[in-house]
């Protein structure tokens, strides 16, 4: 196991790459990329970095030259033979050859497209433009680079023993969380922490700690490289990106209202079982479920990623009952802003009513709160989203209006089309 503190203290590497592989990304990105490659490969998109935590002035913390070095290194990466063999030959979600030969032939030749970087008002404006299957693969590595460069900037002036103590405290903090979760009967939890991790080495350590501490309760990791290297299940389904882009491509209000279901219709043709998980909150969970076609009620479950998680689960339970489905057989994946106490609370509240599961993100792989002066390593909310498709702006409403994005006039239109009324604001921690 790597001595992380010593590795951080040793600054002899010229670049010390943050992203080591094209599969140092979330599994759902690769699944979605194959779906986009099949259905919408000629769509032109723009992705943009969005820092929701304005108090963290990234351009003041992170050196532009170092950021460009890391981004340029990512553009030099290619899929290795071993990575290709893993993707082509491994079994994912019980399915052999999850990735088609056509998609793999394309992916093996892929080089990520150029980026555009500027400084403005203490923040970086980082954008990516091009064909959707190529540009979408920038999202996770771009976030990982900014998050880790911020960590490195804070840690740079620390000396060897100070770093040893810092990481010892962080390890103890995580292990206490694991001990809190270990006695929970029937717990199923996975690592969802790639995009806003403290560092790659730290995420890898967290995954190993979860595996040892929780045993069979630990289902796997969303990170494909760690899953491959540690012989774990790669976990993930789909994300808000798909309905956001499909909706932006809609020509009429009727097409717009149908777009989120068109996404899942395409997904239905490609996947079965535990990959049939609905993410209903892009334009409001209640309205999405109210207008959903009956065939969606037969899907395996739902992922709840914004708003109050208990409220979202109750809405899903009522919906399944109204469609003649048995909620106790349905999977509910909680994945928004989780920490150990909330995980334990939700597991107690919904065990026996649904099959609860948890995707533990930033507060697993980046919880250094209270461990540095001025809380300089506290996690913050950084995202990289599709902001346009074929020249049209994208919109996300969410179940938490603080997570909404898009031009004001388009947000108003989407709220009208999807029947979104008053929403409760909740703090966006991560």
Tokens (6 digits) for 132:
């959707």
Q: How far is CA 399 from CA 317, 380, 394, in A?
A: 17, 20, 17
> What does the pLDDT read at residue 27?
98
Residues 6+ apart with CB under 8 A from 357: 188, 189, 190, 219, 301, 331, 332, 333, 334
Query: pLDDT value at position 401?
Result: 81
Length of the chain measured in residues:
430
Note if the pTM is more than 0.75. yes
**What CATH architecture does domain 237-370+385-429 belong to?**
Alpha-Beta Barrel (3.20)
Q: How far apart are the first and last CA of the chain?
A: 28
Residues of the chain with pLDDT under 50: none
* Spatial distance between the Cα atoms of 206 and 200, rounded to a whole number of angstroms: 10
At a CB cut-off of 8 Å and minimum separation 6, what does 422 contact? none
* Dist. CA 105–CA 161, nearest whole Å: 48
- Amino acid 428: pLDDT: 66
Phi, psi of 351 (to 5 degrees): -65, 130
Quick one: how far is CA 289 from the chain centroid?
23
Phi and psi of 127, rounded to 5°? -130, 155
Task: Give residue 356's pLDDT.
Answer: 98
* Per-domain residue ranges of the chain: 237-370+385-429
Token pair of 249 as six digits: 């491509």
Contact by Cβ (8 Å): 318, 349:
no
Given this model, what pLDDT does residue 12 score? 60
Q: Of 130, 390, 134, 136, which Cα lies nearest the Cα of 249?
A: 390
pLDDT at 210: 98
């Amino acid at each position: 196991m790597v001595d992380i503190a010593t590795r951080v203290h040793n600054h002899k590497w010229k670049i010390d790459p943050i992203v080591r592989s094209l599969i140092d990304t979330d599994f759902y990105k690769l699944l979605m990329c194959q779906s986009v490659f099949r259905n919408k490969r000629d769509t032109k998109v723009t992705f943009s970095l969005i820092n929701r935590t304005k108090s963290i002035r990234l351009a003041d913390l992170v050196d532009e030259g170092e950021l460009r070095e890391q981004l340029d290194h990512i553009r030099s990466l290619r899929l290795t033979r071993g990575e290709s063999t893993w993707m082509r030959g491994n079994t994912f979600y019980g399915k052999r050859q999850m990735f088609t030969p056509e998609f793999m032939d394309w992916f093996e030749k892929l080089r990520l497209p150029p980026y555009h970087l500027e400084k403005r008002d203490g923040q970086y404006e980082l954008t990516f433009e091009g064909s959707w299957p190529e540009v979408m693969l920038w999202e996770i590595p771009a976030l990982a680079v900014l998050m880790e460069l911020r960590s490195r900037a804070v840690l740079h002036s620390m000396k060897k023993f100070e770093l040893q103590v810092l990481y010892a405290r962080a390890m103890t903090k995580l292990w206490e969380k694991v001990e809190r979760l270990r006695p929970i009967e029937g717990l199923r939890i996975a690592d969802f922490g790639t995009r806003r991790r403290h560092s790659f080495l730290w995420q890898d350590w967290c995954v190993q700690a979860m595996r040892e501490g929780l045993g069979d309760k630990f289902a796997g990791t969303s990170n494909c490289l760690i899953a491959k290297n540690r012989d774990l299940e790669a976990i993930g389904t789909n994300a808000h990106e798909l309905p956001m882009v499909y909706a932006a491509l809609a020509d009429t209000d009727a097409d717009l209202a149908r777009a989120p279901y068109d996404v899942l219709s395409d997904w239905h043709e490609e996947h079965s079982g535990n990959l049939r998980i609905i993410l209903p909150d892009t334009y409001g969970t209640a309205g999405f479920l109210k207008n959903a076609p009956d065939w969606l009620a037969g899907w395996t479950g739902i992922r709840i990623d914004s708003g109050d998680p208990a409220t979202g689960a109750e809405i899903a339970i009522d919906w399944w009952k109204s469609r003649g489905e048995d909620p106790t057989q349905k999977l509910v994946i909680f994945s928004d802003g989780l920490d150990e106490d909330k995980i334990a609370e939700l597991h107690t509240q919904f065990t026996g009513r649904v099959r609860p599961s948890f995707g533990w993100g930033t507060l697993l792989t980046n919880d250094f709160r209270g461990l540095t002066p001025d809380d300089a390593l506290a996690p913050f909310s950084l995202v990289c989203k599709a902001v346009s498709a074929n020249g049209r702006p994208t919109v996300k409403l969410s179940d938490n209006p603080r997570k909404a994005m898009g031009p004001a006039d388009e947000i108003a239109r989407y709220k009208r089309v999807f029947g979104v009324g008053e929403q409760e604001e909740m703090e966006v921690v991560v």
